[in-house]
Chains A and B, each alone.
Chain A
Amino acid sequence: MSFAREASRAIRSTFVLWLLTGILYPLLMIAFGQLVLPDQANGSLLKNAQGTVVGSALIGQPFTSDRYFNSRPSTTNYSTANPQQDEAGVLKTGVSGASNLAPSNPALLERIQGKSDPDPAKNITGDLERLQSAGISPTADLVYTSGSSLDPHITPEAARNQVARVAASRSLQPSQIEPLIAQNTDGRFLGIFGEPGVNVLKLNLALDALQP
């Protein structure tokens, strides 16, 4: 077989398969998604009563105040930035990322435990200290950063541990808040696969709906 024939076959199959798998297949799937499943296909966006988008049902948001159930620590602060000071361009594309700290890395313990240093710039407030001063008994999910930095969930235990604080801050009864946790918990698939998680953004939206 001549070189020319082999080369021509290689080039022709490159373009033919490109047309099939790089153009036709995605086009078909995008059309299907947009026509049949527009909600999921566009990112499961959550809208408020006015119809404005407030977030995504699948993507977490940062919450650190007493009024809200706090979310997990995040290395990108849930892909957020102040629009006025976004030098890194986070808001241009959105980001995701993880700490990639090894279990043996001292920086991991410093982040969790905190570190006092004579130089105030090098002081680290530990996640554990923050939780303790907020009166939340710590669980693993609230001291370890997530994989995506966008984790929408906290564990049900972490949510229960925060009920008293949120109730006190909003002058509500814990019994008014507890049902909201159950309503916003995503269970295991078929009751078997994965772990149950409380969707923090949806829970906090429900909390605001209960008492703005």
Chain B
Amino acid sequence: MFQGWLQIALTIALFVALAPTFGGYMAQVYLGQKTLLDPVLVPVEGMLYSLTGTEKKEEMTGWQYARAILYSNLAMGLLIFFLIMNQGWLPLNPTGLGAPTWDTALHTTISFITNTNQQHYSGETTLSYGSQILGLGYHMFTSAATGLAVGIAFIRGLTGRPLGNFYVDLIRSITRILLPISIVGAVALMLLGVPETLAGPVVVPTLEDPAVSQAIARGPVAHFEIIKQLGENGGGFFAINSAHPFENPNPATNLIQIVAMVVIPSAFIYTYGVFANSRRQAWLIYGMVLTIYLLFVTLTAISEYQGNPAVNALLGNVQPNLEGKEVRFGWAQSALFATTTTGTMCGAVNSLHDSFMPLGGFVLLSNLFLQIIWGGQGTGTAYLFAYLILAVFVTGLMVGRTPEFLGRKIEKREVVLASFLILLVHPITILIPGAIALAFPEQLAGISNPGFHGLSQVIYEYASAAANNGSGFEGLADSQPASTGLWWNLSTCFSLLGGRYIPTIALLLLADSLSRKQPVPMTVGTLRTDTFLFTGVTAGVVLILGALTFFPVLALGPIAEAFQMAKGG
């Protein structure tokens, strides 16, 4: 058991240690300062700017920034939808796969353009290498870069700067952050055994019974895998994602994958500290997120380590819950990966969340509800500050002062936008479609696990879509050709789009209005936001708002399941 906690602690220590260096680097990139790779990248970027028609100096308003996101994402989405629907005759299709159903293609396109990567298909049996490389792999860069752009535009606005230019941020996020790390990471993954080939599956007779053959699916996995993790995309090349030995063959690749998925959102908080010139506040917020994260990791790890009491009774001793887990990862790396992937909105899995103990399921769902225990690429940090703005407002009300944040007055418009973001969009896109699906359990829901867990399956699917996470309680019959596939494909599109673009627009408008405010001089009467007390209040606001909104479904899902199991069936 000690060994398990040690590896969890060291993995966390590693990405925390990377935060200042990497966060500082990202700040340099977005402030347009000199960096190490300038000699190579300046000419490349110059070429990209002129090819795309980007004026480097042009500043965008909140609306212009938002429109640029919507138009570019629409154009990218159309390209991918075309590629997937025509994969049957397009090249790089060694297994001769035809087009998937239109609703699967539509859901996949929307799911990847929104950085969610929720998958209602199995990679091996549905999508050609061409669709994966040319379509999904490409979206993994652009959707992650879009998230980073939103995050940085928000930070710029918050700190009183102009928002910047979307296309410049999009391109620089790719050329200076995502692509260089992906190239190094892909090489490392290949060295450690991840395949990278255009050759089709190998079929071999099995050793024990040569009359039975085994098909070993392969593909260009390594380059896809690293951006899948780094961009917090999470859409696996194979059906079973990072549990597949070709995506994640050993503990070394697993370490790379965990660090890759959390390093950007964790360091991004530090990037904010550089922009705001307040590293103290950045570290306080960082500490708050880290504390909740540590608590969540501990809860999940303990419950998986103690295993399933009903099965332990048969085995005669306490053994970890290994259902849906790989031996090489065990309880510790599985619990750490699961908590990190739901917290960061990566959504890759190295073990199957549906088979986690109820306490683990509780944590994973809570991560999807809160959206800030590191949070999505760029957007997670933005949400964090939306929470901070609400906390400023709440404390301002308590002490009877005009709420201010970073010397800017928080007024009606800001509070409306921030609370709309956090209090309304997320629950609406989860609970309303969830209620509809649950009202028609046979026709729509397609629940595979009976009892309280079935409710968790449905809510998890919409929470994962709305939070742009992409993991799932995968027993749910959410893919074609199941009769409930069409409903799931279309209804989750509502949550995917609503959960991505409404908050994006609101964040940019919020940033825009903050950046235009006259700074108020700091006085003795100013409520300081870089204190332990204020950070504690913020944590309280986060947990209370999250609990108020989602406690009923948690109580009927994982909590009820836990009591039921404790009772013995």
Residues of A within 8 A of B (CB): 1, 5-18, 20-23, 25-26, 28-30, 32-34, 37, 40-45, 53-65, 67-68, 72, 78-83, 89-106, 108-109, 112-113, 128, 138-141, 143-155, 186, 188-189, 192-195, 197, 201, 204-205, 208
When the two chains form their complex, are residues B52 and A16 in contact, meaning their CB atoms are under 8 A apart?
yes
When the two chains form their complex, are residues A29 and B48 in contact, meaning their CB atoms are under 8 A apart?
no
When the two chains form their complex, are residues A55 and B327 in contact, meaning their CB atoms are under 8 A apart?
no
**B134 contacts chain A at the CB level, 8 A cutoff:** yes
Closest 3 CB pairs of A and B: A194-B251, A94-B217, A22-B138
Partner of B330, one of A34, A104, A194: A194
**B492 contacts chain A at the CB level, 8 A cutoff:** no
Chain B residues closer than 8 Å to A15, beta-carbon distance: 79
- 5 A-B interface contacts by CB (under 8 A): A13-B52, A56-B202, A146-B327, A193-B252, A194-B250
When the two chains form their complex, are residues A21 and B197 in contact, meaning their CB atoms are under 8 A apart?
no
Residues of B within 8 A of A (CB): 3, 6-7, 10-11, 48, 51-54, 64, 67-68, 71-72, 74-76, 79, 95-97, 122, 124-125, 133-135, 137-138, 140-142, 167, 170-171, 174, 179, 182-183, 186-187, 190-199, 201-208, 211-218, 220, 222-224, 227, 238-240, 243-246, 249-252, 254-255, 307-308, 310-311, 314-315, 319-330, 332-334, 349-352, 354-358, 448-453, 473-475, 561, 564-565, 569
Chain A residues closer than 8 Å to B564, beta-carbon distance: 104
When the two chains form their complex, are residues B354 and A102 in contact, meaning their CB atoms are under 8 A apart?
yes
CA distance A53 to B314 in the complex (A): 40
CA distance A101 to B324 in the complex (A): 8
Partner of B68, one of A9, A152, A192: A9
Partner of B245, one of A59, A89, A192: A59
CA distance A94 to B216 in the complex (A): 5
When the two chains form their complex, are residues B167 and A18 in contact, meaning their CB atoms are under 8 A apart?
no
Residue in chain B with minimal CB distance to A193: B251
When the two chains form their complex, are residues B174 and A17 in contact, meaning their CB atoms are under 8 A apart?
yes
Partner of B190, one of A17, A32, A58, A83: A32
Partner of B322, one of A6, A141, A150: A141
Chain A residues closer than 8 Å to B213, beta-carbon distance: 80-83, 91
Q: Separation in Å of the B501 CB from the closest CB of chain A? A: 15
Q: Give the dominant DSSP class at A's interface.
A: mixed
Residue in chain B with minimal CB distance to A84: B211
CA distance A39 to B391 in the complex (A): 55
When the two chains form their complex, are residues B215 and A92 in contact, meaning their CB atoms are under 8 A apart?
yes
CA distance A103 to B412 in the complex (A): 47
CA distance A104 to B565 in the complex (A): 6
Partner of B239, one of A14, A96, A104: A96
Q: A21-B179, A26-B220 are in contact. Are A10 and B75 (CB under 8 A)?
A: yes
Chain A residues closer than 8 Å to B250, beta-carbon distance: 186, 189, 194
When the two chains form their complex, are residues A93 and B215 in contact, meaning their CB atoms are under 8 A apart?
yes
Chain A residues closer than 8 Å to B215, beta-carbon distance: 79-81, 90-95
When the two chains form their complex, are residues B323 and A82 in contact, meaning their CB atoms are under 8 A apart?
no
Given contacts A42-B197, A82-B211, A151-B245, 8 further A-B contacts (CB under 8 A): A30-B220, A33-B197, A80-B206, A99-B323, A102-B453, A144-B325, A148-B243, A148-B245
When the two chains form their complex, are residues B329 and A9 in contact, meaning their CB atoms are under 8 A apart?
no
Partner of A21, one of B141, B206, B351: B141
Residue in chain B with minimal CB distance to A72: B327
Chain B residues closer than 8 Å to A100, beta-carbon distance: 324, 352, 354-355, 448-449, 473-475
When the two chains form their complex, are residues A61 and B179 in contact, meaning their CB atoms are under 8 A apart?
no
When the two chains form their complex, are residues B327 and A153 in contact, meaning their CB atoms are under 8 A apart?
yes
CA distance A149 to B71 in the complex (A): 41
Q: A59-B216, A104-B452, A189-B251 are in contact. Are A18 and B138 (CB under 8 A)?
A: yes
When the two chains form their complex, are residues A99 and B355 in contact, meaning their CB atoms are under 8 A apart?
yes
Residue in chain A with minimal CB distance to B255: A193
When the two chains form their complex, are residues A95 and B214 in contact, meaning their CB atoms are under 8 A apart?
no
When the two chains form their complex, are residues A95 and B239 in contact, meaning their CB atoms are under 8 A apart?
yes
When the two chains form their complex, are residues A43 and B216 in contact, meaning their CB atoms are under 8 A apart?
yes
Q: Separation in Å of the B333 CB from the closest CB of chain A? A: 6
Residue in chain B with minimal CB distance to A32: B187
CA distance A29 to B198 in the complex (A): 11
Residue with the highest number of chain A CB atoms closer than 10 Å, among B3, B186, B321, B323: B323
Q: A10-B68, A33-B197, A81-B213 are in contact. Are A103 and B321 (CB under 8 A)?
A: yes
Residue in chain A with minimal CB distance to B565: A104
Chain B residues closer than 8 Å to A104, beta-carbon distance: 358, 449-453, 561, 564-565
Q: Separation in Å of the B254 CB from the closest CB of chain A? A: 6
Residue in chain B with minimal CB distance to A100: B475
Q: Separation in Å of the B504 CB from the closest CB of chain A? A: 15
CA distance A154 to B325 in the complex (A): 12
CA distance A38 to B264 in the complex (A): 31
Residue in chain A with minimal CB distance to B248: A148
Chain A residues closer than 8 Å to B325, beta-carbon distance: 144, 146-147
CA distance A139 to B208 in the complex (A): 22
CA distance A138 to B191 in the complex (A): 35
When the two chains form their complex, are residues A195 and B330 in contact, meaning their CB atoms are under 8 A apart?
yes
Q: Separation in Å of the A54 CB from the closest CB of chain B? A: 6
Q: A104-B453, A194-B333 are in contact. Are A22 and B206 (CB under 8 A)?
A: no
Q: A104-B451, A189-B251 are in contact. Are A6 and B67 (CB under 8 A)?
A: yes
When the two chains form their complex, are residues B182 and A25 in contact, meaning their CB atoms are under 8 A apart?
yes
